[in-house]
C-alpha cells in the first residue's frame, strides 16, 4: 500500500471514529471497564460497532469476522483511536481469543473450525481461556497429566489446570491434554477445545496479593470435547501450543491499549518529589534513574518499530517475541517500582479517604505487575529460547 493510499485510509478511519465512537467513553476504557455499570450500555454499543466494522480483530479475513486490514492499516486504526481517547476493548473481553486462540486457529484450524469459532471471538461475544499449566507442570509444561480418552465422537477429559485466566467467566477453553500415555511426554499431547458450560468443569478463582485476580483453578471431571474440536493433529498438540505461546509473547511485547489517560511519569515525579529553582527534580539519583527508565522505554518502542519496518509492515511472530517480551517486562516493572517510590507513603496505601483513587490503583498495579515476569513463560524460559533459537547456543536443559 502506497503512502497516499495509507493517508486516505487514515482519513476514512478518523471520520468513522468521529461518527461512531461514543463521546462518553473518551479515556474511560480502563482495566476495570467490565465492572463499570455507568458506561456498560455505551461499551456494548461500541463493541457492536467495532464488530460490524471488523475492527475487533482488524487483520483477520472478513469471512471470519475481521476487516482484512494490513498491519500498517491496523496500526493506523490504533493510532487514530489513541488520538481521541478510544480503544478496541474486544481483545480484552474475548479473553485469550483474539491474541492467542484466534491466530493459532487461523494457522492450524480446519475451515469448519474457523467458521465455528472465529466470528464469535472477533465480535467479542465469546470469551476464551486456556488450560495449560498444572500444579506439577508449570515451566515444564510437557509434564502435564490431564488426560483425554477417546470415546465415540468425543474425548473424555479428566485432570486439573491452574492459573487459568478468566476460566470462571469464559464460554470456551483450549486445553492441552495427554492422549497417549505411552509416548514420550512431548509426543503424546493434543490440543482440544471444549465448552466451559458443562457439568464436568469446575472453576475456583485464586485471590492474589493485589486483590481480585483473573486466575483460577480448573477441574475437569469427565468433561467432554467433541473430536471435531481437536486443533491440529492427534498427539501433536506440542507443535500447536508452541505456536500459541509465541502469539501470547507477541501480544505481551507492548502494554495493552485501552487504559485511561495516564499522567506522564516525570509529572508524577515533580508532583510528589518536588523540583529545584531551575525546574529539575530535587533528587539527583532519582533523576538519573528516571531518565534511564525513560530511555529504556523509548528504546523498547523503537525496537518494536524497527522489527515491524524490517518485516515490511507484516508483523511476524517468531522467537524474537521472547526478546521483546522480556524487554517489556523490564520496562513495565521498573516503571511500577519508580511510581511507588515517587509517591512515597502515598504509594503504598491500600484503602482510606486520604489516598486518591490513582494512588490506590498504582500500588495494585505494582503488586500485580510482579506476575509479568512469570506468565506467558517466565523471564528465564524466554532467556533459554533466546539462547537456543536466536543465538544458537547448545541445549543444556533436559529433553523430554
In percent, the amount of the chain with pLDDT more than 70 equals: 89
Count of all residues that appear for the chain in the document = 400
Q: Rounded to whole angstroms, how far apart are CA atoms 7 and 145?
A: 53
CB 155 within 8 A of CB 148: yes
Query: For residue 256, what pLDDT is reported?
Result: 39
Contacts of 357 (CB under 8 A, 6+ apart): none
C-beta of residue 269 within 8 angstroms of C-beta of residue 281: yes
SS3 content of the chain, % helix, strand, coil (to 5): 50, 15, 35
Report domain 3-93's class: mainly alpha
- Report percent pLDDT > 90 for the chain: 51
Asked if residues 74 and 13 have their Cβ atoms less than 8 Å apart, the reply is no
- Three-point CA angle 97, 30, 253, nearest 5°: 55
The pLDDT value given to residue 400: 43
Domain ranges for the chain, please list them. 3-93, 128-236, 262-390
Q: Give the integer Cα–Cα distance in Å for 340 and 349.
A: 10
**Per residue in 64-95, is it b (16+ CB within 10 Å) or e — as a string?**
bbbbebebbbbbbbbebbeeeebbbbbbbbbb
Which residue's entry shows cell 528516571?
290
Q: Global pTM?
A: 0.79
H or E stretch at 218 = strand 216-226
Which among 246, 243, 238, 242 is positioned nearest to 143, based on CA atoms?
A: 238
Mention every residue, 6+ apart, whose C-beta is less than 8 A from residue 128.
Answer: 94, 95, 96, 97, 100, 101, 121, 170, 171, 172, 173, 174
Residue 259 has pLDDT above 50, yes or no: no
- Mean per-residue pLDDT for 269-295? 86
262-390 architecture in CATH?
Up-down Bundle (1.20)
pLDDT at 355 over 60: yes
pLDDT of residue 375: 74
Provide the CATH number for the domain formed by 128-236 in this structure: 2.40.110.10
Would you give the end-to-end CA distance of the chain in angstroms? 46
The pLDDT assigned to 35 comes to 58
Q: How far is it, in rounded angstroms, from Cα 194 to Cα 229?
A: 7
Write the pLDDT tens digit of every residue in 73-101: 999 999 999 999 999 999 999 999 999 99
Task: Please list the residues that pair with 173 across neighbouring strands.
Answer: 129, 194
Coil, helix or strand at residue 236: strand
Tell me how far apart the alpha carbons of residues 232 and 87 are, in angstroms, rounded to a whole number.
Answer: 33
Q: Assign 368 a pLDDT band (cuts: 50, 70, 90).
A: confident
Looking at residue 260, its pLDDT comes to 42
Q: What is the mean pLDDT of residues 307-329?
A: 69
Amino acid at each position: 500500500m502506497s503512502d497516499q493510499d495509507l493517508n486516505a485510509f487514515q482519513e476514512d478511519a478518523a471520520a468513522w471514529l468521529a461518527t461512531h465512537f461514543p463521546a462518553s467513553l473518551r479515556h474511560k476504557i480502563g482495566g476495570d471497564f467490565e465492572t463499570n455499570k455507568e458506561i456498560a450500555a455505551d461499551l456494548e454499543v461500541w463493541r457492536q460497532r467495532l464488530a460490524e466494522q471488523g475492527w475487533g480483530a482488524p487483520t483477520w479475513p472478513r469471512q471470519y469476522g475481521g476487516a482484512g486490514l494490513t498491519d500498517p492499516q491496523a496500526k493506523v486504526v490504533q493510532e487514530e483511536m489513541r488520538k481521541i481517547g478510544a480503544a478496541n476493548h474486544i481483545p480484552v473481553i474475548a479473553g485469550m481469543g483474539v491474541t492467542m486462540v484466534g491466530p493459532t486457529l487461523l494457522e492450524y484450524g480446519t475451515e469448519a473450525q474457523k467458521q465455528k469459532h472465529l466470528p464469535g471471538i472477533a465480535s467479542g461475544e465469546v470469551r476464551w481461556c486456556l488450560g495449560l499449566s498444572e500444579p506439577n507442570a508449570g515451566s515444564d509444561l510437557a509434564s502435564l497429566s490431564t488426560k483425554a480418552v477417546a470415546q465415540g465422537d468425543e474425548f473424555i477429559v479428566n485432570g486439573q489446570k491452574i492459573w487459568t485466566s478468566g476460566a470462571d467467566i469464559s464460554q470456551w477453553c483450549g486445553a492441552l491434554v495427554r492422549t497417549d500415555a505411552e509416548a514420550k511426554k512431548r509426543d503424546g499431547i493434543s490440543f482440544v477445545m471444549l465448552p466451559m458450560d458443562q457439568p464436568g468443569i469446575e472453576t475456583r478463582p485464586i485471590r492474589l496479593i493485589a486483590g481480585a485476580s483473573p486466575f483460577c483453578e480448573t477441574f475437569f471431571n469427565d468433561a467432554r470435547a467433541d473430536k471435531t474440536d481437536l486443533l491440529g493433529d492427534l498427539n501433536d498438540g506440542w507443535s500447536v501450543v508452541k505456536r500459541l505461546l509465541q502469539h501470547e509473547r507477541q501480544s505481551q511485547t507492548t502494554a495493552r491499549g485501552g487504559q485511561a489517560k495516564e499522567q506522564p511519569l516525570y509529572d508524577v515525579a515533580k508532583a510528589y518529589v518536588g523540583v529545584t529553582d531551575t525546574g529539575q527534580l530535587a533528587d539527583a539519583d532519582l533523576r538519573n534513574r528516571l531518565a534511564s527508565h525513560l530511555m529504556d522505554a523509548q528504546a523498547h518502542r523503537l525496537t518494536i518499530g524497527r522489527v515491524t519496518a524490517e518485516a515490511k509492515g507484516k508483523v511476524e511472530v517468531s522467537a524474537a517475541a521472547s526478546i521483546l517480551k522480556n524487554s517489556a517486562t523490564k520496562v513495565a516493572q521498573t516503571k511500577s517500582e519508580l511510581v511507588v517510590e515517587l509517591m512515597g507513603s502515598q504509594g503504598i496505601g491500600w484503602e482510606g479517604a486520604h489516598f486518591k483513587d490513582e494512588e490506590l490503583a498504582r500500588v495494585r498495579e505494582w503488586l500485580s505487575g510482579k506476575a509479568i515476569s512469570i506468565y506467558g513463560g517466565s523471564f528465564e524460559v524466554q532467556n533459554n529460547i533466546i539462547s537456543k533459537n536466536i543465538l544458537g547456543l547448545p541445549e543444556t536443559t533436559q529433553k523430554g
